[in-house]
Structure 1
Amino acid sequence: MSSDSWDSHPCGWKPTASGRYVREQDTREKLVLRQVRGVAGHINYHMVFSVTLQYSMPCSDAESRVRAAWISLRCAQPSIAAVAEDNCMTFAAIRPEDVDAWVSNTFFVHETADSALSLSSELQPAVEMQLHFLPRSKELMLCASHEHADGHGMIMLLDTICENIAFPSLPVFENQAERLSPPLDIAARIGAASPRIWDQTTKLMKEWGARAARPLYIKADRQGPSVGTVSTSRLVLSDKNSSAILRWAKARGLSVNDAMNGAVVMATKRYGNTEGNWLGGVMMDARNQIPTPYNARKHAATIFFVACPAFVENPQSVVDAATQIQKQRVAFQQDPEALQILQPMLAMATSSNSKIESKIGTAASQSQVEYSGLGNLSGFLEQAHGSIEIVDFWLTLGHCNNSIGVYCYTFRRKLNFSCSYNSGFHSKRNVDSFIRILKTLLEGLYA
């Protein structure tokens, strides 16, 4: 595509007569929104990302600074306020006289709440991105429907909020539209998928589907129906044990992320006490393939993560599972046309809604254990901004179905796992039993 063609791309932001801005959703956004809107009346994969802060300022000053930081972010990264409408994304700039109304709908202070983790299980998902502040525990929660951002994007947005708290500045209301972020199709200049990618993806999906006949799974211990909120259990390893895992993985030629994916696969197999295949995917953050300035944190409110279907066939050990995953991940990430996979994936995703709904309300349905690794958060989330220290971070994603999401990352030298589940299908006891098996597996690696 020529430069002029990219400028006129239908997914580029364009002004309307009403003063709003509009563009078509790109391929990645359409795929994500099929998941988000897969169940009528629900927001699937609703994201909650939280940090615990340490500071010495009075509560009233802290609340004022957090509020101001939120307003500054709205002006600096206006894409956080973009709205999905049908097949388009729309945006309206905020004016100074609109600030109070916008803040009242998106910023919430929970003066009596003791824990963001417990509060997160009470929050109903919302279409608009929201910020919640708990002055008693000094925690922030950034909540968003998945079409607003990916995992690394949410983390960078939280980090920017913390930076704004530490170093307050006046919001810049002028020229907001010039700071809107482009979607992945434009930012990475993906272009049309090649015949090779179409053939390769078709073959991959056939192989994935064939292995789905014998899946590894966990049984739900509740009949449903689905609830709208998310429940979360955490596993945090010590500095010492996290370092031991790193050494163990390195000695076997594995990345920590692939090794932990393998551990989750084997924990699923051990908990379900079955033979079979793990069905999931491998991820790539496309930011390292996107030219300046769109690869920077000032364009964090974007979906630049790309997934490729992957599977682990009849795993026999953590190393076996991790090696299978690593082989598929490396092949995907090293393919110069990898980002083109989105187009055949969207074309094939014709029945995603029914797949989600078919899992809801069945008494003994098979629950898939999904894994997503965010890696080491250094470079995305700082440990401190001035006098504001970030002492903890966790995340969770709400599921409308009976699947369990396991999200792994390293922050402040500690390896973390967040397990997200729908309490309509799983009790805390059921998920905690899975976590105990995972912990035992991990302990066996460095014993």
Structure 2
Amino acid sequence: MNVIRHSAAALAAVAVLGGATPAVAASPSPSASLPAGLYGTSDPTYDGVWRQSLALLAQRTAGVEPADAAVAWLAGQQCGDGSFAAYRATAGAPCKADTNSTAAAVQALAEIGGYDGRVRKAVTWLKSVQNKDGGWGFTAGGASDANSTSVVIGALAQGGVTVPDLRKDGKSPFDALRGLALPCDGPDAGAFAYQPDKKGKLAANADATAAAVLGMLGETVAGSRQDDTDAPAGCADPDSGSDHLPAADNGAAWLAKTLAKSGHLTTALPGAKPQPDYGNTADAVVALSTAGFNSQAAKPLHWLESHAADWAAQAGPGAYAQLIFAASAAQGGDVHDFGGLDLVAKLNATGPTPAGVDDNPTAGPDDTKASGDKDKGSIGVAWTVGGGLLVGALIGFALMLRGRRRQR
């Protein structure tokens, strides 16, 4: 669930949170007068609402009450029809809504509480733009993709919607996700594709698979810590059983196999040397832990503890949020001692200080907004597109499934 928002306005292939900062074509420079309530210092044009939503949700996940100014800024980004755009500099600015920003905002505001009216209005908008296959694309009416469908499922569940009953032309959101699952008789059995290619073929995509596992389990992007699953680490017919667990377990098993050797995912632009993919590795840890694949999540969790500090410092609040989700979901994870790093203090230092929290004396001067940290990679906390290229401008619920809701 890394975050580059794909928009028709900017088509730039970028790396997904690798070792170097992703290069986004024609990206505006950071503004010297960003809103006081916003987390991070990079240009928020493509990811303002997304990174703010992740930051607030991560704080709540870690037991921190977000600053009023930060929550108010997010709520104030809502458009008249209930949707959210990636960022609006003023309330009167045009609203170029997208499902991902809207869903992320719903997840955060529903978790914080006190914004029921805004959440209902956003949920109504999301329901109104459901595709005939049961899923969602990044923009209203766009072709359904695994990432958008999954983050919307998490939002609807948080908003009180019984997701399996939400159907368009007889299709539920889970039907849309199952349609993107690779069959069990191929080399990438159990993985999910982002979207079919032009010929209708499905290609395994790690980011889409991590997102779809959470979607199938009806979880938010934060996931949740679960007991060990009793599911076999293999591939079963995703349409078997009376719930959505087979497809989720298949995806988790594929992620476990993919991560087993190195402990991390990789990414690269065509012709470039593959680089470690910190963000998608963190998302995979969340998916594995939420699916109950705890032993398989241990190696990538430890890899992140040893390698992700510099990436997060460069990438900013969205990256710290992803690591908080991973540390919170994984057994043995500690958000206050993540390889010696206090992730919560680091995140808090990138924006307004939450109530009841010291002014982050342990975060370090290079992590405060005043330091000029460029938060360069926050726009690259990204959803991958297709076989690994990204379109560069950004990008669970009332189910009786697993975890909080799963009955084993």
TM range (shorter): under 0.3
User: What is the TM-score of this pair, normalised by structure 1?
Assistant: 0.26
Between Structure 1 and Structure 2, whose CA radius of gyration is higher? 1
Structure with greater proportional strand content: 1
